[in-house]
Structure 1
Amino acid sequence: MTRIDYTGTGLSEDELAATPWQQAKHWLDEAVERSGVQPDVPEPHALSVATVDADGVPNVRTVLMRFFDERGPGFLTNTLSTKGIELAGNPGIAASLTWPAMFRAVRFRGQAVLLDRAEVEAYFATRPYGSRISAWASMQSQPATSRAELETAYEKYATQWPDSGSPDDVPVPDFWGGYRITCDEVEFWGGRSNRLHDRLVFTRVAEGSLDDASAWTVSRRQP
């Protein structure tokens, strides 16, 4: 078994930003910057999302974080997918951004709220043509008999809505949408030597956005 000592600089209370939004944005910006010059952070927006099914059994998968502002992180998906069905039954959600090469992670816990349709439609228009077609072709999470079945469905919709170079040449599926995480807790993990990692946690104590300092209290957890 290979063991790697985590040689990150961690995160002290003196370095911590005043709000979870400011701290998360700072780390995300640094991850995006690093991804442009180093191969060890290939997808800085990769977001692991955990839900629970009707029996309370957890599920986790990785999506791309496509929205992130003071309201919370957001992602797009087929709302009839497994994650969509589970969130309809229980909106409790946990998610994390993890950058192993930087010895950093950000954990979000809270409730999933459906994105406004206007936000979904505006984002859909920015997707490449092939991605807009695949939103129709993939009945996400449903059984597939073969790869050929998926490619046939793709060709069907590509024929129905050929690429005209316009962002509205493919309509937005009714079942395609997204979620924003309204956070109750945001944890910042910084890996350090000897497994003495830093875990600084913002916990909600009042109403307010991720950038409202009065809505949060900060504590440290054992690694």
Structure 2
Amino acid sequence: MKLYYLAGACSLAPHIVAREAGVALEIEAVDVREKRTASGKDFRAINPKGSVPALELDNGEILTEGPAIIQYLADLKPATGLAPANGTMARYRLQEMLAFLSSEVHKRHVPFFYPAYESVRALSLDALYAHYALLEQRLSAQEWLVGEHFTGADAYLFTLTTWAGHVGLDLARFPAVSAFRERVAQRPAVRAALEAEGLLNHDTR
């Protein structure tokens, strides 16, 4: 399998999940502005949406959207607990959290990456603080976002926290989230993913 990624982007989350699961994965960087892969392919021919992540399966199929890829990779190695079993309430809780991170937290970062949306950045930052307050409450009561073990949702939130400095979000206001971020950053699989993307020695805060 091959994961198409942009260093430090949301594609980092499934990259972490793959390494946590021990899934053999080739990675190829994408220039999302030019829509070209590192090997010179037209990325739109791989993913017409033009965005990362995109996962090329062994049979040639392409799977897109981070939450779907996270669950797919986790399900390849169910014993890892990266995603609870399908049909269980725990699985629905994982999907609930992935949906919140994707549709609410992740998307509130968009205005900070595109100059055309500068006028709504203050509103987006206010919303991010409100969302992080909810995450702070949860992580003050438990070590991980879903259940008692590290899951794909934790990989996703960790990735989002690395954007805090870029958007002007003061993580120091959220001690439980900050402790979570440092805890995740020390996991060997996370460090391996960061190193592979050239981010291990970067200050991503």
Structure 1 length-normalised TM: 0.25
Give the strand-richer structure, 1 or 2.
Answer: 1
Q: Which one has the largest radius of gyration?
A: 1
Give the helix-richer structure, 1 or 2.
Answer: 2
Greater RCO, 1 or 2 (C-alpha within 8 Å, sep 6+): 1
Structure 2 length-normalised TM: 0.27
